[in-house]
Amino acid sequence: GQSLEQPSEVTAVEGAIVQINCTYQTSGFYGLSWYQQHDGGAPTFLSYNALDGLEETGRFSSFLSRSDSYGYLLLQELQMKDSASYFCAVSGGFKTIFGAGTRLFVKA
């Protein structure tokens, strides 16, 4: 089977850096993805890691360690608009399974 664990919520202040961790157990692992979902909206793709290491996309970076079955999403220079839920997801072939999500609250 497949399972993912991530914190249920994180609070940070505007301009700060926050890291959201994700550990997973799965068979047939292809990669780890991150999605953002604002209240009332649909999940939108942020980043993907298939290999160990750090991937950077603007203010967002994502890290993967396949040997540790662990990854994280790093958000820098936090803005109020970053308040949302963040989901890690594991892909095995076409199948993508999502974690329960981390609710990020950004305070002024």
Partner 1 sequence: DAGVIQSPRHEVTEMGQEVTLRCKPISGHNSLFWYRQTMMRGLELLIYFNNNVPIDDSGMPEDRFSAKMPNASFSTLKIQPSEPRDSAVYFCASTGGIQSGANVLTFGAGSRLTVL
Binding site residues, partner 1, CB under 8 A: 30-31, 33, 35, 41-45, 48, 50, 87, 91, 94-101
List C-alpha distances in Å: 47 to 1, 38, 55, 61, 107. 23, 16, 8, 8, 24
Q: Which is nearer to partner 1, 18 or 62 (CB)?
A: 62
Number of Cα atoms under 13 Å in the Cβ half of residue 9: 5
Helix (H) / strand (E) element for 101: namely: none
Q: Which is nearer to partner 1, 35 or 72 (CB)?
A: 35
Q: How far is the CB of 50 from partner 1 (least distance, A)?
A: 5
3-state secondary structure of 2: coil
Q: How far is the CB of 85 from partner 1 (least distance, A)?
A: 10
Q: Which is nearer to partner 1, 7 or 31 (CB)?
A: 31
